[in-house]
Each structure stands twice: as C-alpha cells, then as structure tokens.
Amino acid sequence: MPETTTKMVLAGEGGQGVQAIAEILAEAANEEGRQALYIPNFGVEQRGGVSVAFLQISDHAIGSPKFLKGDIVAALSERAVQRTATYAGPETVFIYDSAMEGVEDDLPEGAARVIPVPAMEVAKEEFHPRVYNMVIMGALVGATAVVSLDQAKAAIEKRLGYKFEKNPQLRDLNFRALERGIEMGRWPKGGIN
Amino acid sequence: MPVPAMPKSWRVDNKPHKFCPGCGHGLVLKCLGKAIDELEIQSRVVYGCDIGCSLLSWDLFNLDTVQTHHGRTTPVMAGMKRARPELICIAYMGDGGGYSIGVQHLVGAAMRNEKITVIVANNTQYAMTGGQMAPTTLPGQKTETSPYGRDAETTGLPFQGAEMIAAIAPEGAYVARGSVSHLAQLTRFLKKALRNQIDGHGFSFVEALSACPTNWRTDAAGTWEFVEKDMAEHFKRGEIKIPEKREAAADA
Amino acid sequence: MTVAPVKEEKRVFMTGNEVVAWAALAAGADIMYGYPITPQNEVMHYWSRLAPRYGKSFLQTEDELSAGFATTGGVMTGSKAFTATAGSGSVLMQEPMAMAEMMRLPTVTIVQQRGGPSTATVIYSQQEVTLTTMGGNGEGIRVVYSTAGHQDLYDYTIKAFNIAWKYRFPTFVLGDGYQAKMREPLTIYDPEKRGVKLLQPDPFVGKEGEPGRDRPPAQYRNTYNLEEELYEKIMSDMKEFEENSADIAEYESSYTEDAELVIIAHGIVFRAVREALDNLRQQGLPVGAFRPVTLRPLPVGQIKELVARVKKILVVESAYGQIARLIKEKACGAACEIHTMFKPGIGIAAEEVEVRAKEILAKQ
C-alpha cells in the first residue's frame, strides 16, 4: 500500500519555535486540501521543558494522534535528541543540528538515516540566529515535500504577518531562510522517499 | 561556572530551579530559605506546596515536602500539625490556590487559629494554567478569562486576602503582607510568621506580592513597575495583625 | 442584536477546545461557568472572548464545586448552561452532578480527560470514564458521549444540549487532552440548517405569575425522609432512563459479522483501532471493531449480541479497565474470551493494537 501519510516529530527547547513550525506546516497542509493533525506535547512547566510536536500529513483520514515511529524526526536541541530518539525506527530519517555537542551517544541507532544539518550555522552566517527554526522547517519541507513552497509561505504569512507589517525585512529574512532550508533538505540524494 | 549563593535549606544538586526567568517564586522561596536558616529549624520543617507554579518547588528545599492538591495545602499541613505539633508546618501556595479554591480552608484554619504558617505568593492570575483571571487580578487587567480587562462591576475588586485573614483570626495570629520588591522586609515577615508558630501563639500568614513576567508579558522594567506601582495601589505592604504578647516582647 | 454564530457551513482547522466553544454557541448555549484546569482552559478562553459578541455570559467561579452548582442554578432558570472540566476538577464535579442526577437537571459538561489519579499529568488519558458515568453517590443516571475527534466534539456538544433538555439527565461530552489540544479539520455548521431542531429550554423556577396565587410554587428538593420514598424515586427515574436508553445509545461497528476477533475501544483510541483494522483486514485477518459512542447508556443490545456470537474480544483503553469493566458487565455469561490492552495515561498507536490483535488471533 503506498504510504501517503507522513509522520513527523519535532522537538526543541521552549522558545525555539517548535510548536510554531509544526502549526504552520499543519495549516499549510490543511490549506492545500490535505489532511493534517498536529498535537503538542509538554509537561506542566510554562517554560523550560522540552517542547515536542507530533504532526501527521496525509491524503486520507488520519487515525491516532499518537504514533510510535516517525518518518522524519527533527531535534533542535541536545535535550531534544535524547527525548526523540525513541521515535526513530528503521524507516526514520533523523535530523539534528550539526552544531550540537555531546549528542553522539544519544543519536538513535538503527534509524534509516541520521543527518546532521548545519541549520544553526547557516542561520547565523547567512541570516540571523532567530530564523534557525525557519531553516529547520525548510529542511523538513525539502526532505518530505509535504507542502508546497507557496503554501508554506502563505501559512507563515498568516501566522507572522502582523510582525512582518511592522518590519517588512523580517518577511524576506524568514522566506529566504525557509528556501535555504528546503535546499538543504533536498540534499543529499533527495529526502525521505 | 560558580554556583550562586543559596540558602542552606535549599538543595543545590538540582539547581537551576524550574521557574521561569523573572518569576517571583524564586525570590519568595529564597527569603523563606533564609528565614528557615536563621531560625535553625530545617530539621523540624515540613513544607507543603499547592498545584500551580508552586508545585515546581516540590524538590527545591532540603526539607521534607509534600505537594498536595489545588487549594488543599492548608488543610493537609493543618492536619499534620495537629498530629505532630512539634513539626513546623508551612503551606505555600499561589493566589489561585489560596484565595479561590482554597479560601474556605484559609477561613477554617484562621478561625481555629491553626498553628501553621501559610504563605500566599500573589501574582494576580493563575500562571501555570496559562494566565486566567484570579481574585487578585487588578481592575482593567487583561487575562485569558478577562480578555477585555477585569470588570469590577461584574467580577469584583482585587481580593484583600491578608485583611480577611486578619479579621477572622483570633488573638495570637500573625498576618503580614510583603513583596518581592522588598526582600529584606519579606524575609523579616516570614521569620516573624515562623517564630509565631515556633512559640505556639497561633496562625501565621504572609502574603507575598510576586511577579509573573511570562503571563504579564512584561520585560524586567515592566515587571518591576507592575509590582511596585500597580499592585501596590491595591495591596498594602506591612504587618496587619500582630499578637499582643509579641508586641510586648518586641523580638526580631 | 445578537448575530447567529455559525451561519454557513465552513471547513475550519482548529483545536478541540475551540471546537467546543463554537459548538456550544451553535447549540444556543446561554452561559458557561468554569474554573481553570488543564487541558480544558481554552474552552473558557474562547467562550469568554466570543460571549459578548453573541450576547452570551461567562462566569469563572472560585472552584469546580461552584462551577458545577452554578450550572445547576443556570439550567433551573431555563438557560442552556454548561461547564467544562478535567482531572481533579472532574472529581469535584461529582457533587453538583449527583444533585443534577437526583433533581433531573439538564446540565451539559465537557470533560477533557487527563492523567489520573490526583494531579498526575495534564496531557491525556481515558481514566475519567468511571467518574463521568458513575461518579456521584447514586446510580449514574446520566448520558455520556465519548468523542473520537473534532467533528464528533462539534456534533455531540450540540447534541448534548438537545438530549439534556429532552430527557432531563445530566449530559456529558467525554473528550481528552489529545482532542483538546490537537488541531485537525472539521466542518462547523448551523444545526437548524441541517434539520436539527434545537430544543428550547423552559425554566424550572421564575415563571410568570405569583406562586400560590397565579400558579403553584415550583418547589424542588433532593432530600427524602423515608427509604420507601427514595426507592420509588430512584426506580421511577431508572425506568425512564432504561426505557429511553435504546433511543439515546449510539455505537459504530465495522466488519463484526465475519470477525473472529472484535476490538472494542472508545473515544480517540478508536481512531488507532480503525487504522489498525484497515491494516489487519488488508492482510486478510478476520478482525472487526466496535465503538460504543455513548458510554452511558451503553448500546447494550449490540454488545450482548456481539459477545454471544464472536469468539474473541479485545478491549483497548488508555486506562486500567474502566471501559473493560463496563463491557464485561454486559458480557456476563457469554462464552467469548475477553482480552485486554490497558495503557493508563498514555496514547495508543495503531501499530500497538495491530501487534496485540495478531497475538490474540495466533493463540488457539
């Protein structure tokens, strides 16, 4: 049976915008007429815990909000690597930031591919550290092709448009970071399929 | 990296604590830790915390601790004290747990002059659940359940919890209100409150004006201003009730 | 003065808590009473924002006891009143809901289950089934719908108001923290445009005229003197409950006719079961699935028929036997094997259900 559901797990520190990326992708997929189910997962603290988002995008009705293994797992912080390694199975593409230190022992063994992505480096050197999550989002879009670039941009605009109105340069910055991320996600040898 | 100075009664191994940056709890609990240190009662204290951000202090101290249910810390600690009077029982909660769901228990404990020390950290809203209106929310203050600003006409004025306790509690009780903007005073009040319990005079209660920059969405300057200017208009610092015997003795 | 909240059908993408607020509006709810507890807070957040635009009211009370009792007061005035809660709040809600049971008050309560017992987690569980169906100090004369996603949350919140006012049993919509917080698409609509007549409530108290002169006083109590009085009252209410159960009960079933193993689950867990069922059937395995939509009253006839005919049943829940207990009671005496998969406080994935189902089929 052709696999038309993409299951994604994103995790990072509170404040890294993990929930924002997941919500934006979910909105974009929904606008495109695909089925999307997004659910956040965190503990009691208002701040400080690892923030995890589960996202499923599909062409047919989505079942359980919870799944055991993701098709793609993205960890934005060292703690996130530890927290999400469990969601990586033999078919999972596990991505993490190449700037992370001390995570070698926590990386999932047995994942299909474990890919260090220089998202933070690219964000810092080409854009601004704050669009780190946008680069990651681009990498996910590039790797999975779950939504089109146009829909991704539209969803970002919908969510962050009010900030862009005040500072139009932010729009350009975010979109370029997104596109750069997409480029990175498609390399090497295409994404998860 | 050097470890910052912490009260002796605090655990060091599990720091930094889990409170948000700028949270008032860290300050109030530091004052409490100092008071416990200075009174040298660490081995006799049982510390109780509520549900809400206060629950994050369940492993903060090197004290026996119990985290209870929302608003129920007062009766748990009162029950403990009745069973083992030599323990020093402290009930720590927020303004939601203290003045809303738990207010009836404060009334009961104060009325019976239960020899426990209750501390209410007041940051004018339910913080952990995302910033809903609380009895202490200021008029016009926007919260998740007063999205257009608190309307005093339909929801009342900021609750004067310490004053209510002072009105109900019999002779022997100690009631005060301090603030995270005046730490030395707050520490002094907490010490006097605990001293009141140690000496067996009666109920002791301290409200501590506290801060929540996360839900207030304020920066450092804005946070300070909200505590010192806005909250201070509605909540007066000072000692509201002191046992007569204490006034005569006039100790620290 | 007030605008109809949902005029046209519209496909939306929102969280479950927001869905509840819109559904209550669409159902013509007048007033919500509530108290903060995760994961249902946003029902209050959305309602308190929408309320002034549509001439509705909101009160945040001092706790859940108050919210529940205020809801009973609200319905007695003939207003469509509702409340929402979770976890320890559900426990507190039992006192007012027991009063609602005794006094036949049409309260509507949305419960977003979280881990239990006590404070546990703010996240998710199916551990408030016992509480919501039978939590008062009585016989559980209540209607409980267990929703499996946002369309259900919308449809059944609207239905809850109608059923509550028609039959006068406290009515519950049992969701959970996943449904509360997740985002998925659904269609919101004006129920009357789909031919669903919204019942108009009539007041218990405060009717026209002077009591004693123009009309008899409306006097309600929940206290009885003698055992015999109480017995009569309970038996009468239970008779009414049972007579209407077949009309109220709802269920969903797939492939149960030729199944060797039928998987039973409710709420969001049933979505994992549906997904697993697809895979199992694709592999040619004789599996079916059954979902009670009403946990109270249960679709008894269908359950009895199932357990009489099918060889094996697997009950799957995010609790330690709360729905299993209810099923087993109805299955009493049947020859089928009842297997269970209990995962209290944790989400269940389709893959896990599939593995367990295969294990059970393999055993002879």
Helix (H) or strand (E) run with residue A89 in it: strand A88-97
B171 vs B250: which has the higher pLDDT = B171
User: What's the average model confidence in pLDDT over B71-83?
Assistant: 96
Which pLDDT value is given to residue B208? 98
Q: How confident is the model at residue C1 (pLDDT cuts 50, 70, 90)?
A: very low
User: What's the average model confidence in pLDDT over C36-50?
Assistant: 97
Which pLDDT value is given to residue A49? 77
Which pLDDT value is given to residue B4? 83
> In the complex, which subunits touch A with 3 or more CB pairs below 8 angstroms?
B, C
Look at B101 and C62 and tell me if their CB atoms are within 8 Å. Answer: yes
Cβ proximity of C328 and C135 under 8 Å? no
Any domain includes C257: yes
Which pLDDT value is given to residue C196? 95
Any domain includes C200: no
Mean pLDDT in chain C?
96
Choose the final residue of a domain: C159, C194, C229: C194
The tens digit of pLDDT for each residue in A117-170 reads: 999 999 999 999 989 999 999 999 998 888 999 999 999 999 999 989 999 999
> In the complex, which subunits touch C with 3 or more CB pairs below 8 angstroms?
A, B
User: What's the average model confidence in pLDDT over C94-113?
Assistant: 98
* pLDDT at residue B184 greater than cutoff 90: yes
* pLDDT at residue C149 greater than cutoff 70: yes
Whole-angstrom distance, CA of residue B174 vs CA of residue C22: 49
Which pLDDT value is given to residue A43? 62
Which of B100, B144, B146 has its CB closest to that of C63?
B100
Any domain includes C232: no
CA dist list (Å): C60 to B50, B144, C63, C96:
20, 11, 8, 16
C120 to chain B: nearest residue by CA? B69
Q: What ipTM was predicted for this assembly? A: 0.90
Q: CATH homologous superfamily of domain A6-185?
A: Pyruvate-ferredoxin oxidoreductase, PFOR, domain III (3.40.920.10)
pTM equals 0.93
User: What's the average model confidence in pLDDT over C297-314?
Assistant: 97
Any domain includes C246: no
User: What's the average model confidence in pLDDT over C284-288?
Assistant: 97
Taking any CB pair shorter than 8 Å as contact, residues of chain C touching chain B are 34-38, 41, 44-45, 48-49, 52, 58, 60, 62-64, 88, 118-119
Look at C351 and A67 and tell me if their CB atoms are within 8 Å. Answer: yes
Which of A93-97, A111-115, C113-117 is most confident?
A: C113-117
Choose the final residue of a domain: C194, C211, C238: C194
Any domain includes C31: yes
* pLDDT at residue B249 greater than cutoff 70: no
Asked if C38 and C187 sit in the same domain, the reply is: yes
Residues of B in contact with A45 (CB under 8 A): 18, 56, 128
Choose the final residue of a domain: C161, C194, C227: C194
Asked if C134 and C39 sit in the same domain, the reply is: yes
Which pLDDT value is given to residue C10? 95
The tens digit of pLDDT for each residue in C73-82 reads: 999 999 999 9
User: What's the average model confidence in pLDDT over B97-125?
Assistant: 98
CATH number of the domain that C107 lies in? 3.40.50.970
Which pLDDT value is given to residue B248? 52
What is the edge-to-edge ordering of all strands in the sheet holding B204-209?
B64-67, B45-49, B88-94, B117-122, B204-209, B174-179, B238-241
Whole-angstrom distance, CA of residue B26 vs CA of residue B28: 6
Which pLDDT value is given to residue C71? 97
Where in the sequence is the domain holding C325, given as residue range(s)? 251-362
Which pLDDT value is given to residue B250? 53
Buried-state track B56-83, b at ≥16 Cβ within 10 A, e below 16 = bbeebbbbebebbbbbbbbbbbbebbee
Asked if C151 and C271 sit in the same domain, the reply is: no
User: What's the average model confidence in pLDDT over C206-215?
Assistant: 94
* pLDDT at residue A192 greater than cutoff 70: no
Other Cβ atoms within 10 Å of C198 Cβ, number: 16
Asked if C30 and C168 sit in the same domain, the reply is: yes
Any domain includes C150: yes
Asked if C75 and C181 sit in the same domain, the reply is: yes
Any domain includes C210: no
Domains and their CATH numbers in chain B? 24-249 (3.40.50.970)
B225 vs A42: which has the higher pLDDT = B225
Asked if C143 and C262 sit in the same domain, the reply is: no
Instruction: Domain ranges for chain A, please list them.
Output: 6-185
Which of A1, A35, A43 has its CB closest to that of C282?
A1
Total residues found in chain B within this entry: 252
The tens digit of pLDDT for each residue in A15-53 reads: 888 999 999 999 999 999 999 999 998 666 666 678 999
Number of domains in chain C: 2
Which pLDDT value is given to residue A2? 38
Asked if C279 and C132 sit in the same domain, the reply is: no
- Residues in Cβ contact with A152 at an 8 Å cutoff, skipping those fewer than 6 apart: A24, A25, A28, A137, A141, A178
CATH number of the domain that C306 lies in? 3.40.50.920
Any domain includes C206: no
Which pLDDT value is given to residue C216? 94
User: To probe the interface with A, which of B14, B15, B17, B18 has the most A CB atoms within 10 Å?
Assistant: B18
Asked if C43 and C178 sit in the same domain, the reply is: yes
Which of C121, C123, C272 has its CB closest to that of A64?
C272
Asked if C186 and C260 sit in the same domain, the reply is: no
CA dist list (Å): A30 to A6, A10, B169, B202:
14, 18, 59, 62
